[in-house]
Every structure is written in structure tokens, then in C-alpha cells.
């Protein structure tokens, strides 16, 4: 199932996105470029601030860790030199998690991370913050089997699929830029270098575009096909946004 996204629905934020996929629902809001506190000001670049609020309870070091990962990844794609001495403030609120998330055996921070990255990116696109490229992210899980091969990999599994495949030996989150460069690589568990390499290759196929240039292809594969191309999905979301903004041109 392809993820769903609604853009620019919060009127008081410069940009916003609600992202829903496989039971994970996250609302992201971006404000910027706005005034930055003197102590955080950087003379030649923009300051990026990420705030993550969990679905239940208050923020803990888990959220701080995810904020650091998000901050480092997003800062590498935001064109910070074009808006110096300003602040780009990204706020992410986890609305809901799938019920089985806590019992999958995989670190819940890892399962949530790709969805957080997508929400943040969509909110940044909604706020028209200058970016050097887009990014897509995916979770790969390697269950414990006697002969782990590429065919036993779980690409972007749902919480139920992870539960059924228990025990999971290792889980990996990869994020790729629009040009195919790896931006984030977080792994957890026991694995060999070959297993990691295969997981990275599979992730690249899911995340990136096959051909070069501006893709004009339409449509997302649904129903059964694992790992539909995320770059195509992102393009279709942006196309919907642009059509929505320009509907006055064709209105009666």
C-alpha cells in the first residue's frame, strides 16, 4: 500500500503535512525562514531545529536521539547558505502507531524513522524551503533463518509482518537522496557485511528512480507488490499539490 499524504492543511504553519502509512500517522509542521535566537544564529547558514513529540507521554532521550538523526539528515538537503541567520523549525507529532509496534522485536525508533523522514520532507516541500534534493527512506528487516539470502529480506514491512517473522536478527534504515546518494544508514542487530550490502542494494531499488532525468511516469503499484518505488510516489504527491494550487487557472 502506498503511503497517503495531505499537504498544507495547517493554516498557521508555513508548511505542513500529515503522513499515514501502515498504521503510522505523523503530522509535521515547518515554520521558516523565521527569526533565530542570537545564541543559535549562524552567520552564513540557516539553523535547523527539529522537535519530535511521541504519540503518548512526554519526550524522552529516545525522541532526542531521533531528533538528532533527523536533524543531521535534513540539514544535508536544506540549502542553508541561501537563508543565512534564519531558523527552519520542524515539528513532528506522532499521532498514532500500529498496535503491534511495541512487540515486533525491532527497536521502535527504527521502525518509526523512515516515516518521520518522509513527513519532514513533505512538510519542507509544503513550506517551500529551498532544498538541494529530495529524500526517501525505507526499513529493511532481516529475520533469523539458517541461510539468510536476499529473498528473505523484508522490504518496508508492516508491524504485523515483523511480528510474524519474529525473531528478527537485524533491522536497517536507509535514506537516499534524489540523486541516489545514501544520506542515512542506521542499523540494529547482528549482521554480516554481505547482508548489509544486500539490504542497501534492495533499499536503493525501492527508494530511487531507475532512469535519470525528470520522471514523467505515473502510477504506484499497489496490492501485493512489495516496495513500490518511493520516488514515484513522492512525485505524484507533489503533482497533486501543484494541481491543487493552480486549479484557479482552469476553474470556470
Partner 1 sequence: MVVLPGDAVPQDALPTPTGKKKQLTLGPGLRHIPPATVASTIAGGLVTDPKKVAAYIESNSGRYLPTTGDLVVATVQTSTAEAFNCTLTPHTPYATLPHLAFEGATKKTRPQLAPNSLVYARVATATKDFAPELTCVDPSTGKSEGLGPLKSGMVFKISLGMARRLLAGSKGGVVLLEALGEKMGFEIAVGRNGVVVVDGGNVKSTLAIGKAIQEADGQALGEKAQKKLADRVLKSI
Give me the residues that bind partner 1 (CB under 8 A), please. Answer: 7-8, 14-15, 31-35, 77, 79, 82-86, 125-134, 177-179, 213-214, 234-235, 238-239, 241-242, 245-252
Q: Which is nearer to partner 1, 72 or 246 (CB)?
A: 246
Q: How far is the CB of 71 from partner 1 (least distance, A)?
A: 18
Q: How far is the CB of 89 from partner 1 (least distance, A)?
A: 9
Which among 179, 172, 174 is positioned nearest to 213, based on CA atoms?
A: 179
Q: How many residues would you count in the chain?
A: 252
Q: How far is the CB of 121 from partner 1 (least distance, A)?
A: 9
Q: How many CB atoms lie within 10 A of CB 113?
A: 22
Q: Which is nearer to partner 1, 150 or 242 (CB)?
A: 242
Q: How far is the CB of 175 from partner 1 (least distance, A)?
A: 14
Q: Which is nearer to partner 1, 83 or 168 (CB)?
A: 83
3-state secondary structure 45-68: CCEEEEEEECCCCCCCHHHHHHHH
| CA–CA gap between residue 98 and residue 15 (Å, rounded) | 26
Q: Which is nearer to partner 1, 160 or 238 (CB)?
A: 238
DSSP track, 114-169: HHHHHHHHHHHHHTT--BS--EEEEEEEEE--SS--GGG-EES--HHHHHHTPSEE
Q: Which is nearer to partner 1, 151 or 250 (CB)?
A: 250
Q: How far is the CB of 40 from partner 1 (least distance, A)?
A: 14
Strand partners, 35: none
Amino acid at each position: 500500500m502506498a503511503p497517503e499524504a495531505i499537504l498544507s492543511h495547517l493554516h498557521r504553519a508555513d508548511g505542513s503535512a500529515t503522513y499515514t502509512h501502515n498504521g503510522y500517522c505523523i503530522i509535521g509542521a515547518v515554520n521558516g525562514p523565521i527569526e533565530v535566537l542570537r545564541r543559535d544564529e549562524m552567520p552564513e547558514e540557516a539553523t535547523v531545529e527539529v522537535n519530535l513529540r511521541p504519540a503518548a507521554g512526554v519526550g524522552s532521550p529516545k525522541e532526542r536521539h531521533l531528533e538528532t538523526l533527523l536533524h543531521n539528515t535534513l540539514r544535508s538537503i536544506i540549502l542553508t547558505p541561501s537563508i543565512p541567520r534564519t531558523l527552519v523549525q520542524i515539528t513532528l507529532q506522532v499521532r498514532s502507531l500500529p498496535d503491534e509496534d511495541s512487540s515486533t522485536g525491532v527497536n521502535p525508533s527504527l521502525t518509526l524513522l523512515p516515516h518521520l523522514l518522509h513527513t519532514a520532507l513533505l512538510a519542507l516541500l509544503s513550506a517551500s524551503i529551498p532544498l538541494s534534493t529530495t529524500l526517501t527512506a525505507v526499513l529493511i528487516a532481516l529475520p533469523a533463518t539458517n541461510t539468510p539470502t536476499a529473498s528473505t529480506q523484508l522490504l518496508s514491512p508492516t508491524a504485523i509482518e515483523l511480528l510474524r517473522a519474529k525473531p528478527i536478527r537485524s533491522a536497517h534504515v536507509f535514506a537516499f537522496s534524489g540523486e541516489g546518494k545514501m544520506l542515512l544508514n542506521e542499523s540494529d542487530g547482528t549482521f554480516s557485511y554481505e547482508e548489509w550490502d544486500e539490504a542497501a542494494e534492495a533499499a536503493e531499488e525501492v527508494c530511487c528512480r531507475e532512469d535519470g532525468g525528470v520522471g514523467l511516469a505515473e502510477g504506484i503499484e499497489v496490492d501485493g507488490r512489495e516496495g513500490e518505488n518511493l520516488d514515484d510516489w513522492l512525485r505524484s504527491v507533489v503533482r497533486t499539490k501543484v494541481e491543487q494550487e493552480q486549479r484557479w487557472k482552469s476553474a470556470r
